[in-house]
Structure 1
């Protein structure tokens, strides 16, 4: 059977290579959909994923803090980052275990039977032994190999914890962005509803004037066209609001059609001015951004790995020993069997110094140095990016503050112009086209006012995201 086993193995390999296994060929032509000649008998389907969603209230309006808490509890990204941090903590424990000896329990049983030649005759001898033992191994000296591995594991754990925090920073900003965009969509929907009511009121005025012979049919048609346009804009705003609601639900790990309410924009306090200078914000970002801190921890880990790899140039001193009992049995033809038992032990010290390994250690050190240089380059790049991101975010907040002030003044002016134009039309001084134009200007002003308020909130959140302020004061969590 052993003789044929190589041929069997060769036949299996040949069968896989010729297509009898799972080997596949490339598509035959670039313009045709690839179809396998034989269906693979592999279950490549993913396991059934749990249904997304959890219980939420459809009556109470969720605040931004409550929405963030829901996302942090249920978003899979936090669970992923949490498990990765726990894996790094386990790796630190593995590295620390190298400081302790290894103990193993052994039980060796052996029996043999032979024939020996004595005085021109063969005699059968039977021998058996049973030895329970304890085996100990300990690395006495390694010139920094273990300490380097432990330090690398510590810095990797710190980097994983900081990455965990950065995951929360990003999820918080995702929730805030989706929330403010929903508020913007809701505000535009409300503005569109008001615009439709205004258009319907103007149409009613024109119809009344036409009934009394004070308006013309073209005036009514213009008013009806304005009402139809307002209805179209309302339907568009309704769809945008539904999409924004679904986007926020998705960030919260809820089905897009989940029914829940959020705190309206009117209940939020808008920032009146920037709290600090761009220089102070940049310095704060460089000190507290978790993604930058994680890269710094990776550089520290690379330094520890370099020390660990360089320790391989020095000898290692190892201790090993065994201790236990040995019980033996022996028997020979025509003789009485014998039994014996006693303590056994041995101990040894091994000094090992690798003199030549084909350049492996040199390449390991070179790899560690390259990884350190790469991490340092990432730090330099990210620092430049952070400075630009904070500058852009700061400028956007300043712009949003000015736009908010201008939008408020624009709404006041447009409302006064609309009311004056409508009154003038009722007195016969202005025509219907002037009323429709002022109505459209008012609708546009209201939409810009809503967008300016939402944009101010969004840009303020973006500045806090870029500086790391979103998680600067967050309490520590014991879970994902």
Structure 2
């Protein structure tokens, strides 16, 4: 450091005040001027995210505030799908495999598990000493004016410089189990994160399977709606043929045309539901590209068998292997370790410290020989810290840890109860779906016979248009019910396996 002149008093404080005022002014620009006015970047706070704010924001129309976000094409870039074959027709197991490789949810859960594992490593690192190295250097030059002698101004210049090198060690030797308790809590948290990672894959298998079966059912419903439309058109053709012969009235013709319009409406709805189900399947897989999916085979998939194990056995199995139950149990164990860590704050800590240091310096006065000096030193310390008074902080920390432990225990009980409820509901849903499918199958047979008879009767002049159109609608409803029950049974079996915790791979689909 070189000292020649001193700044006028107050100048430094004034510069600092102006700098702080400028920062406050910029910070004020980071929000809207009022609650009813939009915000736009102004000045230095503009970032890459808002780079098009000035150019892309249109003027307000009619004085109304425009809260539009400026367009930025960079935010519209979708991640390119990887490992997708556009020519391949994917089956359900292949869709599950693709989802497990590409869905962001699995990668997020994996990173969370890695972070929890790294936290364990950071806690374990506290058992080892901390070694730091420091180097300090400085330089100073001072000119001191002397009294004028014979009209000549003289001054004495002094120069001082030096360096210091320090190697220091800090080591906590004993803390009455506090680090051990913190490490135990971190390990339980890591176990919970890894269990939830496995649970994320189980949930993904369920989501893809459910979306696949729903999509297959939507394809079937669309096919049945098209068949119902063809039936309605056949009835209309028969009515128009009878009218040319003077055997049908204008009312019957209007009724037949109305039935065709209604059938067309239901076909359009079924087509839209199929497209929605397809997009939901892609979302469950986690891809943005179109896939060829063999969902028609879902209609040929045999119905699952009813749950054979007893309810008590199923509940015990689920509570012993469900990821959410296991993760909640690990969190409860971590909270218990947190109590021990907080209680250890009352106890002493034994630590060791040491250093190795060396330094050198030079002192020079104009006109005199310079003075140089070097030195070195080492030291080792062992100390004990005893906490005496913390204004109730440690008591509050212990009570907080105990409260968290009680909350974790209650949460574990809640998760267990929720699991039992889900198991009972899943078993009942599967049973209802299987019974509904049996009833719907019988209904389809009866409705098909009724439609054939009603249509044949009308063509032979002994039936009515109302009977034929009603039979066509009833047949479509029966087929839809059968498809819904079949898909519900497949989804119900997958759901039961999921809530039990046994849906662990695509090979274990029920």
TM-score (structure 1 length as normaliser): 0.85
1:3 aligned to 3, 10, 16, which one? 10
Higher relative contact order (CA 8 A, sep 6+): 1
Instruction: Please tell me whether residue 34 in structure 1 is matched to residue 37 in structure 2.
Output: yes
Which segment is superposed worse, 371-380 or 209-218? Answer: 209-218
| Counterpart for residue 22 of structure 1 | 29
Q: 2: CA distance between counterparts of 1:333 and 1:437?
A: 117
| Counterpart for residue 424 of structure 2 | 391
Which segment is superposed worse, 231-240 or 427-436? Answer: 427-436
Closer, same or farther in 2 for the Cα pair 1:472/1:242, shift >3 Å?
closer
Q: 1: CA distance between counterparts of 2:38 and 2:77?
A: 31
Instruction: Please tell me whether residue 87 in structure 1 is matched to residue 115 in structure 2.
Output: yes
1:374 aligned to 407, 416, 439, which one? 407
Instruction: Please tell me whether residue 51 in structure 1 is matched to residue 54 in structure 2.
Output: no
Aligned pairs for 1:79-478 (under 5 A) are 79-109=107-137, 130=163, 132-255=165-288, 258-264=290-296, 265-323=298-356, 344-471=377-504
Q: 1: CA distance between counterparts of 2:188 and 2:27?
A: 49
| Counterpart for residue 62 of structure 2 | none
Which segment is superposed worse, 70-79 or 433-442? Answer: 70-79
RMSD of Structure 2 on Structure 1 (CA): 3.4
Q: 1: CA distance between counterparts of 2:109 and 2:474?
A: 50
Instruction: Report the number of matched residues.
Output: 463
Closer, same or farther in 2 for the Cα pair 1:152/1:54, shift >3 Å?
same
Closer, same or farther in 2 for the Cα pair 1:18/1:132, shift >3 Å?
closer
SS in 2 for 1:309: helix
Closer, same or farther in 2 for the Cα pair 1:15/1:332, shift >3 Å?
closer
Q: Which consecutive residues of structure 1, in runs of 5 or more, have no partner in the other structure?
A: 116-122, 476-480
Residues 162-197 of structure 1: CA distance to partner in whole angstroms, max 9, x if unpaired? 222232233332222222221221111011011111
| Counterpart for residue 120 of structure 1 | none
TM-score (structure 2 length as normaliser): 0.80
Q: 2: CA distance between counterparts of 1:111 and 1:426?
A: 113
Closer, same or farther in 2 for the Cα pair 1:223/1:49, shift >3 Å?
closer
SS in 2 for 1:451: helix
Closer, same or farther in 2 for the Cα pair 1:197/1:330, shift >3 Å?
same
Q: 2: CA distance between counterparts of 1:52 and 1:228?
A: 43
Q: 2: CA distance between counterparts of 1:251 and 1:434?
A: 43
Closer, same or farther in 2 for the Cα pair 1:335/1:319, shift >3 Å?
same
Q: Post-superposition shift, 1:299?
A: 1.3
Q: 2: CA distance between counterparts of 1:216 and 1:125?
A: 124
Q: 2: CA distance between counterparts of 1:335 and 1:423?
A: 130
Which segment is superposed worse, 260-269 or 354-363? Answer: 260-269
Q: Which consecutive residues of structure 2, in runs of 5 or more, have no partner in the other structure?
A: 1-6, 51-71, 144-155
Closer, same or farther in 2 for the Cα pair 1:6/1:78, shift >3 Å?
farther
SS in 2 for 1:346: strand
